[in-house]
Amino acid sequence: MTEKSKSFPPASAGELKGRALRLLAGREFSRAELARRLAPHAASGAAIETLLAQLEAGKQLSDARFAEARARQLSRKFGAERVRRDLLAKGVAQDVAARLAADFSQGDLERAQAILARKYRTAATTRKERARRMRFLQSRGFSLDVIRNAIEGAASGESP
């Protein structure tokens, strides 16, 4: 029997809260993500909503705090667009995700140049190699302007 197909007996309110607090002790969760993790263990959706409201009132659960921590973590490796998409996928409100992505987009060019320098030791010499690097940065969520500037900066020998 796989983990996803296991059927758990409904947990009491105390057990459900204990499970939620254990999860939150490990890392921050968004409201939607925590609800999804608790759903197999709860008797009803109303029990989950009540618990989540209690946790938010006690400041143990915060979408804003989760979004900031997640955006900070992702911004080390990814561009603003990728950060925004990830936050939306985790259930963060669209306006919060857009604001945080915009905040972290300030250093996109330097981050893109540093990522290129780590992955590729030499400048791109052929058009094919340049396109490969552009696709790589695009998959990391950088904007086209940032990608062009990072590739041109690497070609001209600028350091990040």
Residue 135 forms part of a structural domain: yes
Query: Does residue 9 surpass a pLDDT of 80?
Result: no
Residue 5 forms part of a structural domain: no
Query: Does residue 33 surpass a pLDDT of 70?
Result: yes
Average pLDDT over residues 119-145: 91
Does residue 151 sit in the same domain as residue 138? yes
Give the span between the Cα atoms of 64 and 9, in whole angstroms: 32
Does residue 130 sit in the same domain as residue 100? no
Does residue 111 sit in the same domain as residue 149? yes
Residue 3 forms part of a structural domain: no
Question: Rounded to 10 degrees, what is the CA torsion of 113, 115, 119, 120?
Answer: 0
- The average confidence (pLDDT) of the chain is 87
Structural contact between residues 44 and 18, judged by C-beta atoms closer than 8 angstroms: no
| Gyration radius of the chain over CA positions | 21
Query: Does residue 75 surpass a pLDDT of 60?
Result: yes
Q: Which domain holds residue 147?
A: 107-156
Does residue 32 sit in the same domain as residue 54? yes
pLDDT tier, 7 (very low <50, low <70, confident <90, very high otherwise):
low
Average pLDDT over residues 69-87: 90
Q: Which of 95-99, 101-105, 126-130 has the lowest mean pLDDT?
A: 101-105
Structural contact between residues 67 and 89, judged by C-beta atoms closer than 8 angstroms: no
Of the ranges 29-33, 101-105, 156-160, which is most confident?
A: 29-33
Does residue 49 sit in the same domain as residue 68? no
Number of domains in the chain: 3
Confidence at residue 122, expressed as pLDDT on a 0 to 100 scale: 85
Taking the model in full, what pTM does it have?
Answer: 0.76
Confidence at residue 101, expressed as pLDDT on a 0 to 100 scale: 86
Residue 91 forms part of a structural domain: yes
Residue 4 forms part of a structural domain: no
DSSP H stretches of helix in 2-143: 13-26, 31-38, 45-57, 63-74, 80-89, 94-104, 108-119, 127-139
